[in-house]
Amino acid sequence: MSDSDDLKKQAALAALDHVEPGMKLGIGTGSTAAFFVQGLGERVRGGLDIIGVPTSERTAKLATAEGIRLTTLDETPHLDLTIDGADELDPSLRLIKGGGGALLREKIVASSSDRMIVIADGSKLVDQLGAFPLPIEVNHFGLGATLIAIEAAARQLDQPVTLKRRLASDGTAFVTDGGHAIIDASFGLIREPEAMNLALAAIPGVVEHGLFIGIATAAVIARPDGVIWLHA
Ligand SMILES: O=C[C@H](O)[C@H](O)[C@H](O)COP(=O)(O)O
């Protein structure tokens, strides 16, 4: 296992200690969340009784293979805890998510939970968000107009921006679980994440974006010198 995978696993297992019998859990997506799903599977097979809502089709498959009982937000609209990775987080627990394209379901699930614990290796913790391009999930209808509106929003906030349509590994257009496209927006460091959050959310063709503000309640970050916790 690479050093970075080892740190991801350490963060995932530290968060696992906060899972209690009977909990309704939101289950994140990505390589760090996959370590959490593996660890959770082991505990479930050892007798832990929980039920989970997966944040992507990928996570649903992994969790099912681990023997984790799954439900939906339609059946279980209120969750106790979501555990999920992030592409970047700052010390105020503002996040960039969506590197794997799961941001819409991730935001819905985390927002339906009492608490959200972010699991990450130390490279994800930054002073200011934005080195990682912000994933923006957009409707296919009117895509050209939506791109122009995103550029206009960036100009208003005095942020430069370069927009790239995300491609899948086979070179075709990436399509999210919800059937939408992803635009990766490089703004450089985001000076006012709250203002950016509102400006992007106000664009009709934007289905959701990867800035998570006021959602995470704690983060466990594994670094070579040990595991640290941040709290909102
Ligand atoms: O869409 C994907 C999610 O937001 C992931 O949680 C995020 O990209 C972090 O993934 P990883 O743990 O693989 O770095």
Task: For residue range 16-33, list pLDDT tens digits in order.
Answer: 999 999 999 999 999 999
Model pLDDT, residue 11: 98
Q: State in words which class domain 3-126+213-231 has.
A: alpha beta
39 CB near ligand 1 (under 6 Å): no
Domain ranges of the chain: 3-126+213-231, 134-208
Number of alpha helices (DSSP H) and beta strands (DSSP E) in the chain: 6, 13
Q: Distance between CA atoms of 122 and 8, rounded to whole angstroms?
A: 9
Task: For residue range 144-191, list pLDDT tens digits in order.
Answer: 999 999 999 999 999 999 999 999 999 999 999 999 999 999 999 999
CB atoms within 10 A of CB 89: 23
Chain mean pLDDT for the chain: 98
Instruction: Indicate the top mutation candidate among 27, 29, 108, 124 to test ligand 1's pocket, ranked by most ligand atoms within 8 A of CB.
Output: 29
97 CB near ligand 1 (under 6 Å): yes
Distance (Å) from CA 121 to ligand 1 centroid: 11
Model pLDDT, residue 189: 97
Check whether 69 has a pLDDT greater than 90.
yes
% of residues, the chain, pLDDT over 70: 100
Distance (Å) from CA 98 to ligand 1 centroid: 6
Does the annotation count 106 as an active-site position? yes
ipTM of the complex: 0.99
Distance (Å) from CA 99 to ligand 1 centroid: 5
Check whether 1 has a pLDDT greater than 90.
no
Closest approach atom of ligand 1 to CA 8:
12
Closest approach atom of ligand 1 to CA 102:
1
> What mean pLDDT do residues 1-20 have?
96
> What mean pLDDT do residues 128-156 have?
98
Each residue of 167-183: b (16+ CB within 10 Å) or e? eeeeeeebebbeebbbb
Distance (Å) from CA 77 to ligand 1 centroid: 23
Q: State in words which class domain 134-208 has.
A: alpha beta
Token pair of 42 as six digits: 């082991």
**Cβ contact 116:33 at 8 Å:** no
- Known binding residue 32? Answer is yes
Model pLDDT, residue 151: 98
Token pair of 111 as six digits: 């927002």
Spot the catalytic one: 57, 66, 106, 208. Answer: 106
Task: For residue range 78-94, list pLDDT tens digits in order.
Answer: 999 999 999 999 999 99
Dihedral of alpha carbons 138, 161, 55, 116, sign: negative
